Amino acid sequence: MSLRFFRIISVSLALIGILQAAQPASSGHLEWSALAPLPDREGFAYPFAGVHRGALLVAGGANFPDKKPWEGGTKVWYDTVFVLERPDGAWRAAGKLPAPLGYGVSITTPQGVLCLGGSDVQRHHAAAFFLGWEKGKVTTRPFPSLPRPLANACGALLGTTMYVAGGIATPDATEALSTFWAIDLSASRPAWRELPAWPGPGRMLAIAAVADGAFFLVSGAALAADAQGKPVRTYLKDAYRYEPARGWRRIADIPLPAVAAPTPAPRHGAKGFVVLGGDDASRLNVTPLSAHPGFPGETWAYDPAADRWLNAGRMPAAPVTVPVVEWEGRHVIPSGEIRPGVRTPAVWAVKFTTP
């Protein structure tokens, strides 16, 4: 064979390698299923959610019950607590929060569902409490308040330490926060500590994750004021890893923004996690809003060992502004926002399997 032939083959193989590297890699199989929908016509954005004594609890949140935002509708906050006691069961209203509340941080703990901050129709809050399920009844128990009022933050539990990152302090804020707080739930007198911030912009509606012995902060939106003093978002792709003994370091950017994706991101594989959907800014200019097709639903798995994001496919539906709850071997996404101003009562669950 001629030297020219071998050169052609070499160039072709090199091009194939480049094209393969440019394609998103598969991270494994995401097996989706639907649980019973919440017994509410609209569903809720950013309720609190978690598990206590085997029961899945979903509480509070907000929606537009009468008219959509583009029709002049008014957002309403809720205090209802719904419970689902088994995956093949039906939801029922089982109690009330201390007050209507949503857009806070919630996480499952042995003591109950820890609910932190949030907002109502008037303001943001610093209050914190455990939401529990005791002998068929909803209970609440106080917990040390956050250092300041906060909503649209994210958080996750690493060992016995709860971390909370970012958010906004007021409903009309034009700057997202860079605050990073921690509290040890195992302490005899738990107290919040402010830790050094990540080396990047402040953000709200980011994704938290815990994997590989570290806390991760991914994407979110920065804020700035426009000429009229209104908040304008910058969609972020940067991501960071925090280890208590080593501090922060930047990791590979997520391929697309994932603003308001369900959080905390569920663990995936031995040491990674997967970001489920989010707003990637590709549909910001859809008009009219009533024609918005919904959020894209791309999923991205992070491999800490390779510092690499792998494409994990698309979601059957892509709610945002909603917690993720690990329950009965699945990761549950209870309700959320499927288009700007539009919620869903649907409850999705995902299991990770090896193809």
pLDDT tens per residue, range 88-146: 999 999 999 999 999 999 999 999 999 999 999 999 999 999 999 999 999 999 999 99
What is the rounded average pLDDT of the residues 169-194?
97
Compute the Cα dihedral for 36, 41, 47, 48 and give only its sign.
negative
For residue range 305-338, list pLDDT tens digits in order.
999 999 999 999 999 999 999 999 999 999 999 9
Lowest mean pLDDT, pick from 20-29, 72-81, 149-158, 255-264:
20-29
Place 12 in a pLDDT band, splitting at 50, 70 and 90.
very low
Helix (H, G, I), strand (E, B) or coil at 16: helix
Sheet bearing 330-334, strands edge to edge: 29-35, 347-353, 330-334, 325-327
CA pair distance 236, 238, nearest whole angstrom: 6
Angle in degrees, CA 159, 219, 344, rounded to 5: 90
* Average pLDDT estimate for 289-296: 91
Mean pLDDT across 244-260: 97
Read off the amino acid at residue 51: V
Checking if the pLDDT of 281 tops 70, the result is yes
**What value does the mean pLDDT take over residues 213-217?**
98
For residue 30, give the amino acid letter. Answer: L
The reported pLDDT for the residue numbered 269 is 83
Q: What does the pLDDT read at residue 285?
A: 87
Model pLDDT, residue 352: 86
Give the per-residue pLDDT at 353: 77
Q: Report the distance separating Cα 233 and Cα 194, nearest Å.
A: 25
pLDDT value at residue 25: 40
pLDDT (0 to 100) of residue 15:
36
23 pLDDT above the threshold of 90: no
User: What value does the mean pLDDT of the chain take?
Assistant: 91
Residue whose structure tokens are 């925090």: 242
Find tokens 């009533």 and name the residue.
Answer: 290
For residues 289 and 61, which has the higher predicted lDDT (pLDDT)? 61
pLDDT value of position 66:
93
Distance between CA atoms of residues 218 and 259, nearest Å = 9
**Structural domains of the chain, ranges and CATH numbers in brackets:** 37-353 (2.120.10.80)
DSSP β-bridge partners for residue 199: none
Report cis status (omega within 30 of 0) of the bond before 147.
no
Dist CA 8 CA 16 (whole Å): 12
**Distance between CA atoms of 95 and 102, rounded to whole angstroms?**
16
Decide which of 36 and 10 is more confident. Answer: 36
Contact of 301 with 28, CB cutoff 8 Å? yes
> Where does the pLDDT of residue 355 fall: very low under 50, low under 70, confident under 90, or very high at 90 and above?
low
Cα–Cα dist 277/230, whole Å: 27
| Angstrom distances, CA of residue 190 to CA of 185, 186, 273 | 6, 7, 28
C-alpha 222, offset from chain centre: 16
Looking at residue 270, its pLDDT comes to 82
Strand partners, 142: 129
**Across 25-54, average pLDDT:** 89
Q: Which residues pair with 48 in a beta bridge?
A: 59
Cα 172-177-183 angle, rounded to 5 deg: 125
In 3D, which of 279, 271, 264, 275 has the Cα closest to residue 325?
264
Across the range 63-87, mean pLDDT stands at 96
Residue 119 near residue 151, CB atoms below 8 Å:
yes
Cα gap 318→339, rounded to integer Å: 9
Show the tokens assigned to 233. Answer: 């978002």
Task: Give the pLDDT score at 22.
Answer: 33
